[in-house]
Amino acid sequence: MNPVGERQRWLAALALAVSVPLPLTGIVTWPFLLPFIATALWVVSRRRPLAPPPAWLENVLAPLILAAVVAAGGVRYGVLRPVSQLAVLVAAVRLPGCGQRSRTMSTGGILALVGVAGVASSTHPSLALYLVALLAFVLLAVGRLTGVTLAEGATAGRAEAAWPPVRLVAGSVLVAVLAAVPLFALLPRLRSPFAGAPFTGRSVTGFREAVMLHGIGDVKQSRRVVMRVAFPGVERGRVSPDWLRLVGATMKHYRAGGWVEGRLRSQRLVGRPEQPIALVEGTRGTDLRRAEIVLEKETGALFAPAGAVSLTLHSPVAVTRDVSRVLRIPRGTELPLAYGVEFDPARVEQPPLDEADLELPSGSDNLGVLAKQVTGRTTNTLAVALAIEQHLQRGYRYALRVHAPVREDPVQWFLFRSREGHCEFFASSMVLLLRTMGIPARLQAGYAGGEPDGDGGYVVRDSHAHAWVLAYVNETWRVFDPTPAEGRPGILEAAGGPTLRWGWQQIESLWDRWVLTFSLADQVDFARQTLDALAAATRYLPRLALGLGVLVAIVLLWRTRRRREPDRARAMGKPPQVTRALQRAMRTAARRGISIPPAMTAREFASAVTAAFHDTKEPVIWLVREHERARYAGGALPRRHELKVAVRAITREIERAPRALSGSPASP
């Protein structure tokens, strides 16, 4: 093929490859994406080189492209979208004639920008497989185009372009993947967005950064055990579902489409194991219940019912309490961790009211209009809260997979556009709607419900993660749950074993935990654990040094034995390794029709086999030379790998060629 035409087709194929994530992520809208894909398909189907458009036409198209990008919203949706849409239109103009050397580099750079935009806007686990496939394709294309360029400039008129070896491409991809893992772990972290990551085909709960419940992933599918809860002295039928509403975080501040706990101060709780630590000052209720909890998953928090009044630790652990009365433990605490909580089922213990409980984001006027439409002329705060709760339960649909657009408030998008989402959307919407009506409200997140464990207790899994609302009505804090019934985890019977879908959800959960929400705290933890491991390993340094010394001694003895092998073989009458390799080659030739008499010398064998199988000349001559040098001249043996390669090459060529005629060997 013409070198210019081949470069043109490879660049057009690369354009199609980098466009794969674009329609899935939404970073480029269809009016911009369709011309790009159509142009790439047209260019890749042309075998003859295309001429580039005239310069005057490109100059005319440039302001039109800028106007189209500005008309589509400009930077209203962030920087990534307008830059991506500008890049695909410019690439569509540059693709015709991209095979010419003057346009190849610039077109490749624009396509690289499009590829980066598609990768940066995707959060699905399949992104890893796509990156590996794209890297292999790019290496193959670069290797081929390099060969085309060298062949084009060769002095020989009929030089052919070579393809990059498969081993080189596969090895390069492997090295790149292995190098990417430590780089990813060391590079600075960014916070994950609220609720659903923009431009994604799946929901990301947002619990990771928002409420510190680590690794939730897809909350409705993960079967990982978080904790086990028991209520001593209470029969299972008398356990209220509200007792299993275990608080992990309470949030008041809604910032840039996400909830922030605002933990500026924390108090360390001082107490000894098996001695109760008071969580509430003053008198306590008389009808208290006790929950025994065993935490099995690292979350950084201790979970407790909303009315917790005292905490009893069964092991020495440093516990702190933040301003919202959420209990925290150090990351890396040894698990499982058992503790007891006394709580009042009839109360919700919360810090006093403050101005943040009525805080609203800018642009919330339409929320107030909606709240008044839902509540009508009702003035009773409890009736207002119940009306908003029922409106959300009945008028909106529960869904895990959401597509929250970038630069749009997720609550506004949920209430007025999508009308579907998971518990965080429902709870966040109710908090803001209550605040527009002058009712203080907070968002709580943690776990709700559990599965009976068969021993009188309950197993709480990742799938029980939930968010709900606290509202201050009638001079007291009260729990509301606006999520529809199908999205509220409760006390359920134990589910069956893992399914194929559950396995995929586990992968998504790991991806969410260790890629999408991998944070600076994780990096600090890894650094600390590494230092601790190195400090602990110092105790084993003498043993490691002894083991290393033994290993070095074994290697030296083995190398000495290899050097003396020809002498020992001659002394014992045993042929050296190279001679045995030559004998294997002779047996293979005999099976293919070469006559091998007992008195045949190595040189006679070389003449016979190269006369019958011409492609074996080079490895046969090398093998015979090494045989004579080791057997008769006392030379060093060749390496085993070299012998295997030579015998394999001789065997392959002999078996590939037509069968030789039996007869006397050719004379040397």
Note the pLDDT tens digit of each residue in 527-563.
888 888 888 878 788 888 888 899 999 988 887 776 6
- The Cα-based distances of 73 to 60, 78, 93, 608, 634 in angstroms read 22, 9, 22, 79, 82
> Is 432 in contact with 442 (CB distance < 8 Å)?
no
pLDDT of residue 88: 93
The helix (run of H) or strand (run of E) holding residue 402 is: none
In what helix (H) or strand (E) does residue 108 lie, and over which residues does it extend? helix 101-120
What is the reported pLDDT for 472? Answer: 94
User: Which amino acid, residue 668?
Assistant: P
Give pLDDT < 70 ranges for the chain: 1, 74-78, 152-161, 189-222, 261-265, 282-286, 401-407, 491-506, 508-509, 512-513, 516-517, 562-575, 634, 658-668
Please give the pLDDT value at position 434: 95
Q: Measured on CA atoms in the order 470, 473, 477, 483, is the torsion positive or negative?
A: negative
pLDDT at 668: 35
Q: Which amino acid is at 146?
A: T
pLDDT at 228: 93
pTM: 0.52
Neighbours of 275 (CB within 10 A): 9
C-beta atoms surrounding 480 within 10 Å: 20
- What pLDDT score does 76 carry? 58
Please state, in angstroms and rounded to a whole number, the distance separating the CA atoms of residues 346 and 448: 17
Q: What does the alpha-carbon distance between residue 584 and residue 647 come to, in Å, rounded to a whole number? A: 8
**664: nearest Cα among 614, 617, 607, 621:** 607
DSSP 344: -
Question: Tell me, what's the pLDDT at 221?
Answer: 58
For residue 403, the model assigns a pLDDT of: 64
In Å, how far from its chain's centre is CA 651?
46
